[in-house]
Amino acid sequence: MQIEDKMAVSIHYTLKDNAGEIIDSSQGDEPLVYLHGTGGLVPGLEKELTSKAVGDAFDVTIAPEDGYGVRDDSLVQEVPRDAFQDVKDLEVGMQFHTQAPDGEGILPVTITALKDEEVTIDLNHPLAGETLNFHIEVIDIRAATKDELAHGHVHGAGCQH
Ligand code: ZN
């Protein structure tokens, strides 16, 4: 069986930046399970996984354009400190999640500077502008169920229903 759209795919991944530092990894943990062809992974990685089989292992370098996107300076904004009045001990580097303005999905928010009255927030993905260096091992491939296809995500561990 080869990876194609509408398959539930399990992979182990290790993600490094260009300096060779590990940013994220599933090794030593459960494999990541995703629904192929639904944008669950960054585009460059889904493209590379297409047609791979169980047991395949490979390295791939993905440019920001095919990863988490290039940085957009207009997404760095100052907001009144009142917006964070519920947060104790606000610090530079803190991350939150917020509803996207179009209502579609969740945006990560990083605090990048603090002033007396204003907080500078960055709505870019923390990995925007980064070249992604993945090592991937394909662990399992199966056809997605009808429910999974209807919901657009894989069921099983971590699913809320
Ligand atoms: Zn579901």
Task: Identify whether the C-beta of residue 92 lies closer than 8 Å to the C-beta of residue 111.
Answer: yes
Q: How far is the CA of 41 from the centre of ligand 1 (A)?
A: 17
Query: What six digits make up the tokens of 17?
Result: 């930046």
- Angstrom distance (rounded) from CA 57 to CA 13: 10
Strand partners, 12: 137
pTM over 0.85: no
Q: Dump pLDDT digits (tens) for 106-161.
A: 778 999 999 999 999 999 988 999 999 999 999 999 999 999 999 888 987 666 67
Domain boundaries, the chain: 7-68+128-151, 73-122
Strand partners, 137: 12, 57
Q: How far is the CA of 161 from the centre of ligand 1 (A)?
A: 7
CATH number belonging to the domain at 73-122, selected among 1.20.120.450, 3.30.530.20, 2.40.10.330, 3.40.50.12780: 2.40.10.330
Q: How far is the CA of 55 from the centre of ligand 1 (A)?
A: 27
CATH number for the domain formed by residue range(s) 7-68+128-151: 3.10.50.40
Query: Which of 115, 108, 74, 73 is CA-nearest to residue 94?
Result: 108
DSSP conformational letter for 148: H
Residue 8's alpha-carbon distances to 48, 84, 100, in angstroms, are 16, 39, 27
Q: How far is the CA of 49 from the centre of ligand 1 (A)?
A: 23
Q: Dump pLDDT digits (tens) for 46-99.
A: 999 999 999 999 999 999 999 999 999 999 999 999 988 888 889 999 998 887
Q: How far is the CA of 156 from the centre of ligand 1 (A)?
A: 9
Strand partners, 97: 108
